[in-house]
């Protein structure tokens, strides 16, 4: 783990927040691949893009009104599948209720979408 040089790191590795987002992305992927057979969805490829909002002024104590941690997480799931959209939607709805890392982060607004890639 690392931090940017401005925070005393070498900026050569993931910082703790990036690691947190990576854990969410991994769990999203594993959850979808695990649950896909339950909905007869064959996934040829699955990729997750994540981003989170973090105000460094909250972390550094420069702004007492700013949240110290991540205030919002957004993700996009890119799926390659021939499954009908309604099956993919059923899978997505199920995943939203059964992803352990996403459930752990429920105190933070998390919004996601999926896209079926050609």
The whole-number pLDDT of residue 20 equals 95
Token pair listed for 115:
């896209």
| pLDDT (tens digit per residue) in 20-40 | 999 999 999 999 999 999 999
- Average pLDDT over the chain reads 93
Inter-CA distances, 8 with 3, 5, 15, 60, Å = 7, 5, 12, 13
Under 8 Å CB-to-CB from 92, ≥6 apart: which residues?
A: 77, 114
pLDDT over threshold 80, residue 65:
yes
* Number of structural domains in the chain: 1
CATH of the domain at 72: 3.30.300.20
In a domain, 76, yes or no: yes
Question: How many Å apart are CA 74 and CA 48, to the nearest integer?
Answer: 10
Convert the pLDDT of each residue in 80-89 to its tens digit: 999 999 999 9
Positive or negative: CA dihedral 98, 93, 20, 66: negative
Give me the domain span that covers residue 30: 15-116
Q: Is the pLDDT confidence value at 3 over 90? A: no
């Amino acid at each position: 783990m690392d931090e940017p040089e401005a925070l005393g790191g070498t900026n050569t590795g993931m910082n703790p927040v990036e690691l947190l987002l990576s854990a969410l992305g991994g769990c999203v992927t594993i959850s979808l691949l695990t649950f896909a057979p339950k909905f007869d969805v064959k996934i040829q490829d699955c990729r997750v893009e994540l981003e989170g909002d973090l105000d460094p002024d909250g972390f550094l104590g420069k702004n007492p009104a700013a949240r110290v941690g991540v205030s919002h997480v957004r993700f996009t799931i890119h799926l390659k599948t021939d499954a009908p959209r309604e099956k993919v939607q059923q899978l997505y709805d199920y995943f939203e209720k059964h992803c352990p890392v996403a459930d752990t982060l429920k105190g933070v607004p998390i919004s996601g979408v999926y896209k079926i890639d050609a």
